[in-house]
């Protein structure tokens, strides 16, 4: 896709809103009435049935997405069923939730796919007449969903890469790459990783694969060394152990890229324990907790995305489809609907557009 055009477009896509974090179990449900995941659609037989299936409720990003969907469903009179994997990468629980949505005759499914293993079930749902929308994570098989609402994750990675290169000011970059998985390929994982390296000015090898770049060479400001790639499962403890492993390989790390903010916080604890106080930590999510960590100086820069908007748009799209057959359309020039991204830092760099943590806290995950 045209990244220059994407840059111009995404800068116009900051969205406003606010969310309230909730605590949730890994497999829960709600609706304009009440229903349990896998149960019938609820008391209102005329209501539109929608299932939201997120990766996990261990990550507040997906809890915020659930909140947005619940509010939108209540406003529209939708019977909403919530389901989640037991952990990031749990495909089996998501497959069961897809089967449940088909069985109870939902009009549509909103899903943040945990991996390519769920895609055959999504094709089955489409064949059964359900409208399937991916949120946040485009599937590897585009034909498994009708449309995707997501951040431009490559662009989000570019933003933090550009900031890092500018902040280093020509200093050698000794980089730890903390990704999502090492046992499966998920678009959000690859796009963020590759976008960061591209933003740094590091030549990509296979843009659809993590970890195959040259271990050393030149970035836009000087020389770099990639210490290695380690998987975090998108979790705090995974980020900590991944950082520990990479620090053991090279204690001179001064740049830490992380797939998301829980992994970033875990990595910060590993750096602290190792006595490394001057490494830059950059990430992607822009949640209220993560922006708070930017404000505290734990994370130096993050790219903010908007999961509540993804969920609200997804619910409304299915309502509109049922009401009059209106189908949503992708953003011009892209193969998905771009819900926007903004770089958040309290240390702005010349030539890199950003907002500060104070502004980001007013719109976090809106």
SS (H, E, C) the chain: CCHHHHHHHHCCCCCCCCCCCCCCCCCCCCCCCCCCCCCCCCCCCCCCEEEEEECCCCCHHHHHHHHHHHHHHHHHCCEEEEEECCCCCCHHHHHHHHHHHHHCCCCEEEECCCCHHHHHHHHHHHHCCCEEEEECCCCCCHHHCCEEEECCHHHHHHHHHHHHHHHHCCCCEEEEEEECCCCCCCHHHHHHHHHHHHHHCCCCCCCCCCCCCCCEEECCCCEEEEEEEEECCCCHHHHHHHHHHHHHHCCCCCEEEECCHHHHHHHHHHHHHCCCCCCEEEEEECCHHHHHHHHHCCCCEEEECCHHHHHHHHHHHHHHHHHHCCCCCCCCCCCCEECCCEEECCCCCCCCCCECHHHHHHHCCC
Confidence of residue 45 (pLDDT cuts 50, 70, 90): low
Q: Is the pLDDT reported for residue 41 higher than 80?
A: no
**What's the pLDDT tens digit per position in 50-63?**
999 999 998 889 99
* Region 271-278 average pLDDT: 97
Q: Is the pLDDT reported for residue 14 higher than 80?
A: no
User: Lowest mean pLDDT: which of 45-49, 160-164, 249-253?
Assistant: 45-49
Q: pLDDT value at position 228?
A: 98
64 with 21: CB under 8 angstroms? yes
CA distances to 6, 143, 214 from 178, rounded to whole Å, are 25, 30, 17
CA–CA gap between residue 314 and residue 48 (Å, rounded): 13
- Within this chain, do residues 161 and 110 fall inside the same structural domain, yes or no? no
Q: Which of 336, 347, 341 is nearest to 147 (CA)?
A: 336
Query: How many Cα atoms sit within 13 Å of 92 on the Cβ side?
Result: 1
* Region 295-307 average pLDDT: 97
CA–CA gap between residue 100 and residue 36 (Å, rounded): 11
217 with 236: CB under 8 angstroms? no
Q: Which of 72, 82, 75, 93 is nearest to 51 (CA)?
A: 82
pTM more than 0.85: no
**What's the pLDDT tens digit per position in 96-112?**
999 999 999 999 999 99
Task: Supply the mean pLDDT for the chain.
Answer: 89
- Within this chain, do residues 43 and 130 fall inside the same structural domain, yes or no? yes
Helix axis angle for 307-324 and 60-76, nearest 10°, is 30
295 with 361: CB under 8 angstroms? yes
Q: 295: domain CATH number?
A: 3.40.50.2300
Q: pLDDT value at position 216?
A: 98
Phi-psi region of 298 (alpha: psi -120 to 50; beta: other; left: phi over 0): alpha
Q: Is the pLDDT reported for residue 13 higher than 70?
A: no
Q: pLDDT value at position 46?
A: 75
Q: pLDDT value at position 142?
A: 93
- Within this chain, do residues 165 and 110 fall inside the same structural domain, yes or no? no
Q: Which residues on adjacent β-strands are paired with residue 256?
A: 176, 281
* Rounded (5°) CA angle 288-290-292: 70
Total number of domains constituting the chain: 2
- Within this chain, do residues 187 and 290 fall inside the same structural domain, yes or no? yes
Q: pLDDT value at position 173?
A: 98
111 with 134: CB under 8 angstroms? yes
- Within this chain, do residues 243 and 118 fall inside the same structural domain, yes or no? no
**What's the pLDDT tens digit per position in 206-258?**
999 999 999 999 999 999 999 999 999 999 999 999 999 999 999 999 999 99
Count of residues for the chain?
A: 366
Q: pLDDT value at position 285?
A: 95
- Within this chain, do residues 34 and 116 fall inside the same structural domain, yes or no? yes
Q: Is the pLDDT reported for residue 1 higher than 90?
A: no
- Within this chain, do residues 14 and 72 fall inside the same structural domain, yes or no? yes
- Within this chain, do residues 292 and 324 fall inside the same structural domain, yes or no? no
Place of tokens 């989000």: 156
- Residue of higher predicted confidence among 317 and 59: 317
| pLDDT > 70: percent of the chain | 88
- Within this chain, do residues 266 and 140 fall inside the same structural domain, yes or no? no
**What's the pLDDT tens digit per position in 169-209?**
999 999 999 999 999 899 999 999 999 999 999 999 999 99
Query: How many Cα atoms sit within 13 Å of 266 on the Cβ side?
Result: 24
Range of the domain at 292: 153-304+343-363
- Within this chain, do residues 164 and 80 fall inside the same structural domain, yes or no? no
User: Lowest mean pLDDT: which of 10-14, 189-193, 340-344?
Assistant: 10-14
- Within this chain, do residues 97 and 119 fall inside the same structural domain, yes or no? yes
- Within this chain, do residues 124 and 202 fall inside the same structural domain, yes or no? no
């Amino acid at each position: 896709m045209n990244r220059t055009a994407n840059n111009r477009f995404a800068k116009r896509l900051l969205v406003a809103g606010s969310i309230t974090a909730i605590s949730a179990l890994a497999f829960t449900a709600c609706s304009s009435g009440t229903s349990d995941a896998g149960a019938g659609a609820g008391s209102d037989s005329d209501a539109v049935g929608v299932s939201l299936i997120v990766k996990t409720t261990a990550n507040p990003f997906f809890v915020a997405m659930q909140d947005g969907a619940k509010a939108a469903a209540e406003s529209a009179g939708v019977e909403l069923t919530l389901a989640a994997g037991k952990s990031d990468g749990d495909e089996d629980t998501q497959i069961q939730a897809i089967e449940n949505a088909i069985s109870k005759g939902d009009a549509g499914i909103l899903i943040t796919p945990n991996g390519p293993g769920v895609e055959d079930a999504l094709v089955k749902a489409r064949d059964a007449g359900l409208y399937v929308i991916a949120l946040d994570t485009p599937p590897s098989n585009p034909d498994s969903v009708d449309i995707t609402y997501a951040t431009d994750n490559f662009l989000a990675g570019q933003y933090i890469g550009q900031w890092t290169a500018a902040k280093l000011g020509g200093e050698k970059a000794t980089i730890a790459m903390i990704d999502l998985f090492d046992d499966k390929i998920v678009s959000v994982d690859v796009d963020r990783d590759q976008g960061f390296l591209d933003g740094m000015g590091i030549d990509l090898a296979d843009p659809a694969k993590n970890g195959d770049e040259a271990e050393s060479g030149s970035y836009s400001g000087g020389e770099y060394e990639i210490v290695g790639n380690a998987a975090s499962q998108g979790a705090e403890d995974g980020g900590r152990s991944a950082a520990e492993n990479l620090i053991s390989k090279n204690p001179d790390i001064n740049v830490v890229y992380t797939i998301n903010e829980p992994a970033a916080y875990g990595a910060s604890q590993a750096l602290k324990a190792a006595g490394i106080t001057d490494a830059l930590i950059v990430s992607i999510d822009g949640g209220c907790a993560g922006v708070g960590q930017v404000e505290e100086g734990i994370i130096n820069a993050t790219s903010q995305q908007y999961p509540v908007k993804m969920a609200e748009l997804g619910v409304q799209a299915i309502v509109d489809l049922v009401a009059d057959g209106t189908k949503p359309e992708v953003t011009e020039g892209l193969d998905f609907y771009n819900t926007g991204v903004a770089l958040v830092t309290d240390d702005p760099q010349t030539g890199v557009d950003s907002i500060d943590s104070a502004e980001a806290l007013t719109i976090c995950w809106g």
